[in-house]
Amino acid sequence: MPEGHVLHRAARLQGKRLAGRTIRAASPQGRFSAGAAEIDGTTLEAIEARGKHLFYRFDGGRVVHVHLGLFGKFRVQTPPFPDPSPNARLLLSTDTDRIHLAGPTTCALLDPDAVDRVIERLGPDPILDPVDGAERLTRSLARRRIPIGAALLDQKVVAGIGNVYRAELLFLVGLHPFVPANEVEPEVLDQLWKLSVDELRAGERSGRIVTVRPADVGERTRSALGRGERLYAYKRQGRACRRCGTDIVSADIDGRNVWWCPRCQPER
């Protein structure tokens, strides 16, 4: 489930286990063999996330850049370690912990300048930039007529939001996905930013995306909700809105589906 909260959570949990340790690195699948050989036996200084990107900083300035794409997954393993699956792109291990990475769209060794170039392409990250993000968001959307639903997936605009958070944040703020970005009032963008901060933080803490409010699900607590009860709009086309009962609808924006409630998120 790789939206931004997943990468921040990975940085935190993996860092707790591996930061400061001497690391054995390998690439059973083979596509990162050269990179793994370079960092093998060196010390992992820190793991940092920004948007959907993850950076492993090793001593000597070497950085492994990981982007999970649509399919990438981490597994955190403890002894006895299972046989590494042959599609493991990268294994980072100590005697007590192992990170297993499979299916990433990017796993590459970068020098610090290249890392900066990746970061420069990214907009504010709700988890890292809670304070000034709203202002940066408002500035970057001021002259853009693309739908707000398209803007939220553009990582230059906001770093870390994916298709689930897009649908859910638009619902929570009551915005129709096709409203032109430059027509969204600054107060609404401000509220949208605050919601992004709250929701991504909650996702980082819990490891799952739960946006529904207790009042809309019979006052049950977040942890008591099963799959299919945690979201308002994402993938719920044809089902009743949890707030007003209207059927959720969907459409395509730039090749990605977006879902919304036509009543709670009216077209203007």
Partner DNA sequence: GTGTCATGCGTAT
Partner DNA sequence: TACGCCTGACACG
CB of 6 to DNA, least distance (A): 7
**Binding interface with DNA (CB under 7 A):** 1-3, 6, 29, 31, 51-52, 67, 69-73, 85, 87, 89, 102-103, 105, 121, 153, 155, 162-164, 209, 235, 254-257
Of 247 and 254, CB closest to DNA: 254
Active site residue 48: no
Which of residues 194 and 235 has its CB atom nearest to DNA in the complex? 235
- Tell me, yes or no, if 38 is annotated catalytic: no
Distances (CA, A) of 42 to 22, 38, 49, 189: 5, 8, 20, 44
In the complex with DNA, the residue whose CB is nearer, 201 or 235, is 235
Q: Which is nearer to DNA, 47 or 66 (CB)?
A: 66
Hey, is 128 helix, strand or coil?
A: coil
Number of H helices, E strands in the chain: 7, 10
Exactly one of 3, 45, 168, 204 is catalytic; which is it?
A: 3
* E-strand stretches of the chain: 24-26, 44-50, 53-58, 63-67, 73-77, 88-93, 98-102, 106-110, 249-253, 256-260
Whether the bond into 126 is cis, omega within 30 of 0: no
What Cα–Cα distance (Å) separates residue 19 from each residue in 57, 98, 124?
9, 12, 25
Minimum separation from the CB atom of position 149 to DNA (A):
12
Residue 52 catalytic?
A: yes
**CB 81 to DNA: min, Å:** 16
Which of the residues 16, 213, 256, 263 is marked catalytic? 256
Min dist. Cβ of residue 51 to DNA (A):
6
Tally the C-alpha atoms within 13 A of residue 207's C-alpha that lie toward its C-beta. Answer: 6
267 is catalytic: no
Q: Which residues are catalytic?
A: 2-3, 52, 256
